[in-house]
Amino acid sequence: MRYLLDTHAFLWFFSGSGHLSEKAKSEIENPDHQIFISIASIWEIGIKMSLGKLQLDFKLNELKREIFKNKIEILPLDFEHIITLTDLEFMHKDPFDRILISQAKEERLTIISRDKYFRLYKKIKVYW
């Protein structure tokens, strides 16, 4: 399986939070699965940290090391993702989530997320 982590799922995984479902954690830790984090999620984390809206016990550069240590791949944002984004219905207004949805759709990835709005999009698989 190939999964794209929603930002909250990614942060909960790294912090060891009980908010992450055991099913999701198991899928992320499965060495047979390909796990991605979008560069948009990293951008979102950086913005929230700089605004003081997100406090982490580590710096962003430490997070990068953890990403690679856990064999998570960084999914870049490309032109095709933006084209897909422009065709998305407006069931979700969060711009970062809309990018994740378009990336999942374009790359045929299942999103690991608790966000109820993700499930409203056709042709998007959501796992929790």
Q: What is the pLDDT of residues 33-77, one digit of tens each?
A: 999 999 999 999 999 999 999 988 878 888 888 899 999 999 999
pLDDT at 107: 97
DSSP lists the bridge partners of residue 111 as: 4, 126
pLDDT at 91 over 90: no
pLDDT tier for residue 93 given thresholds of 50, 70 and 90: confident
CA 90 to mean position of chain CA atoms: 19
- In contact, 13 and 28? CB cutoff 8 Å: yes
pTM to 2 decimals? 0.92
Q: Which domains does the chain have, with CATH numbers?
A: 2-127 (3.40.50.1010)
Instruction: Please name which of 30, 26, 22, 24 lies closest in space to residue 9, comparing C-alpha atoms.
Output: 24
Tokens read off for 58: 């580590």
The pLDDT assigned to 123 comes to: 85
> d(Cα 50, Cα 121) in Å, to the nearest integer?
31
